[in-house]
Copies of this chain bind each other. A is one copy, B any other.
Amino acid sequence: MDKNIADKFLSELGNKLATFRKRKNLSYRQLAQLCSVDHSKISKIEKGQINAQMLTILELAKGLGIHPKKLLDFEFDFED
């Protein structure tokens, strides 16, 4: 897969996560307490440094009280 596309995708995902977290005024450590994902890992996911697994995304969504699909709700081009 094109690395730029992959990076962009993970970056967009991270942005979405950050948006929802900030909207709820949660710090990484606070969100970490609401779900079983370590605070430092959340940081890395928000920065697009980690290619998280589906269940991790689910955990984060649960902690935020949103449907997981909302974390993927961003524009994305598929041109290779």
CA distance A6 to B1 in the complex (A): 27
Chain B nearest CB, measured from A35 CB (Å): 8
- Chain A interface size, as a band, is 20 to 34
Say what secondary structure dominates the interface of chain A.
helix
Closest to A75 in B: B67
Say yes or no for A23: interface residue by CB 8 A criterion: no
> Which one, B5, B9, B36, B76, contacts A54 given CB within 8 A?
B9
CA distance A69 to B78 in the complex (A): 13
CA distance A36 to B59 in the complex (A): 27
- Report if A76-B68 is in contact (Cβ < 8 Å); known contacts: A1-B55, A54-B13, A54-B57: yes
